[in-house]
Structure 1
Amino acid sequence: MQQTWLTLSHFVMLGLLFGFAIVHSGGAALRPWAEKLIGCRLYRILFALSSLPLAVILIIYFFNHRYDGLQLWNVQDLPGVQQFVWALSAISFLFLYPATFNLLEIAAVQKPQVHLYETGIIRITRHPQMVGQIIWCIAHTLWLGTSFTLVTSIGLVLHHLFGVWHGERRLIHRYGEAFVQVKQRTSIIPFGAVLDGRQSILWQEFFRPAYLGVVIFVFLLWWSHPFLLQATGKINI
């Protein structure tokens, strides 16, 4: 029987994810060498110029093909599901964007550096972006319920799991014993180090402008979501 639901878009998305993973993780791996060769700021600019366009293409392609393939389930009409999905999505962004706290470094206005954090959300999980991505994938896969979304989510989660392994290798190489001690005091699994007594949540660490910025961003995203879908739908990819 012909599998008509297994559309080409499934494989295109996997290819786009694989390409992004090579550029993003490969660029991160080259950082120590590249910074010595061309400097921190130029490396950051080149890294952004190579990664961001691919990320934009991924987002647009996902928006345009999110209902491709087999409809595995449909829970959108069930009471409370939409609110639950939005709540999960909001929580995911609180984990996804702690890296944006140093905006001047990201824009290469200040000298970009690798930081060894152990406060705020790092007390909850040592890899908040991975946790945020998993929460985002759960929310959107639940809401959309298509095979295309499931394939996309699996690809994203695998990339972030690889990023955990790859990132820790780079940190141990850069910081040595200092990072080993951070690993001992923190956990990858959310709240793991809190539950076994290695960490305590200090809520005052979350009262900073960056978290307020994330909250504002979530509300703006909620408001603009329909317009984003309309805009991306006009791009034929």
Structure 2
Amino acid sequence: MIQLTAAAAFFVLIHLLISGTRVRDTLVGRIGEGPYMGLFSLLSIAGLTWMIMAYGQVRGDAANDVYWGVGEATRHIQLLLQFVAIFFVVIGLTTPNPTSVKQEGVLQREDAVKGVLRITRHPFLWGVAIWAIGHLIVNGDQAGMTLFGTMLVLSIAGTTSIDAKRRRALGAAWEPFASQTSNIPFAAILAGRQSLKLGELGLLRPLAAIIVYAVLLVGHPHLFGVVALP
């Protein structure tokens, strides 16, 4: 568990203490945006790889305490949560979004707030958060709590971190987009600042999400060694 805990701490700290603070601004000012993004990407990949490998090593260890079991109802809830998670992840990644890397120019478009951005301006990160929640309820062991708990905390913290970075970098140009959208899913719609227009999602994005979901369900035991279907 020491390796997994260390890997999780490393992964969280490089995001919250570097990427999520003015340290990032200082580094970008000194070495440039491109070199910073390259170095940070390498650190992130290394940290994630370390965490996944450490999880694989400790998952079946006798010292990996189990705090709760998994029932049939829980498995079905997990399947539903994963569908929602994949929906947000796939559609979020394929929708132009000023919160994404190098996509600040979307703010200049009249239809900057469109599709899934009406639900949340951070669809990918909320997809990761829902993915983590689903895996937490079916992984009640110490290793699972460390891995998926880390991803949950980091994804939610990432939404506020990105908002702060965009506000610092874009100033007044950021405010109209932020005021028309919400971080928390459906909050802007419930507040009356936005409306749900599912037609803007198109057909290809939801279809891609369904295909990815199906592939992961079928391939889960081959990719991760665990059967996903009840």
Alignment correspondent of 1:197: 192
Any conservation in 2 of the 1:67–1:148 contact (CA below 8 Å)? Answer: no
The answer on whether the counterparts of 1:65 and 1:148 sit within 8 Å (CA) in structure 2 is yes
Shift of 1:102: 7.2
Alignment partner for residue 68 of structure 2, among 65, 73, 77? Answer: 73
On the 8 A contact 1:93/1:218 being kept in 2, the answer is yes
2:171 matched to 1:181?
Answer: no
Out of 51-60 and 173-182, give the one that drifted further.
51-60
Aligned to 2:160: 165
**Cross-structure match for 1:92:** 85
In structure 2, runs of 5+ residues without a counterpart are none
Shift of 1:36: 8.7
Q: Is the CA contact (8 Å cut-off) linking 1:126 and 1:188 kept in structure 2?
A: yes
Is 1:229 the counterpart of 2:220? The answer is: no
Partner residue of 2:138 out of 123, 136, 143: 143
Aligned twin of 1:16: 7
Describe the superposition over 1:173-228 as per-residue Cα deviations: whole angstroms up to 9, x where unpaired.
12222322222222222211111211111112211534433332222221211112
Could you tell me which amino acid in structure 2 is paired with residue 136 of structure 1?
W
TM-score by length of 1: 0.72
In the TM superposition, what whole-angstrom CA distance separates every residue of 1:100-126 from its partner, at most 9, and x where no partner exists?
A: 3279xxxxxxx9443555222221122
CA separation of 1:35 and 1:212: change in aligned 2, threshold 3 A: farther
Aligned residues: 212
Q: Contact 1:120–1:202 (CA<8 Å) still a contact in 2?
A: yes
- Structure 1 unaligned regions, length at least 5: 1-8, 104-110, 232-237
Report whether the alignment pairs 1:50 with 2:43.
yes
**Pair 1:99–1:21, CA change in 2 (3 A):** farther
How big is the shift at 1:87? 1.9
The CA RMSD over aligned residues, in Å, is 3.2
1:45 deviation in Å?
A: 4.6
Report the Cα offset of residue 64 of structure 1: 4.3
* Alignment correspondent of 2:52: 59
Change (3 A) 1:98 1:52: farther
Is the CA contact 2:92–2:122 (under 8 Å) kept in the aligned structure 1?
no
Cα offsets for 1:124-167 (capped at 9, x unmatched) = 12222332233222211111221332233332222223322221
- Verify: 1:206 aligned to 2:201, yes or no: yes
Contact persistence 2:118–2:189 (CA under 8 A): yes
Cα offset for 1:44? 4.8
Whether the aligned pair in 1 keeps the contact of 2:126 and 2:156 (CA below 8 Å) is no
Fraction of identical pairs, as percent: 24
Which shows bigger deviation, 161-170 or 149-158?
149-158
Q: Is the 8 A contact 1:66 1:148 kept in 2?
A: yes
